[in-house]
Amino acid sequence: AQSVAQPEDQVNVAEGNPLTVKCTYSVSGNPYLFWYVQYPNRGLQFLLKYITGDNLVKGSYGFEAEFNKSQTSFHLKKPSALVSDSALYFCAVRDQAGTALIFGKGTTLSVSS
One residue of 44, 81, 87, 109 binding another protein per CB under 8 A: 44
Burial 8-18 (b: 16+ CB within 10 A, else e): eeebebeeeee
Residue 65 as a binder of another protein (CB under 8 A): the answer is no
* Region of residue 99 (phi > 0: left; psi between -120 and 50: alpha; otherwise: beta): alpha
Length, in residues, of the chain: 113
> Interface with another protein by CB under 8 A: which range of 10-18, 63-71, 78-86, 100-108?
100-108
Q: Is 31 in the site for another protein (CB under 8 A)?
A: no
| Least distance from another protein to the Cβ atom of residue 42, Å | 6
- Please tell me whether residue 34 binds another protein under the rule CB under 8 A: yes
What Å distances lie between residue 54 and 47, 63, 99, 105, CA to CA? 17, 15, 22, 26
Chain residues in the site for another protein (CB under 8 A)? 32, 34, 36, 41-46, 49, 90, 94, 97, 99-106
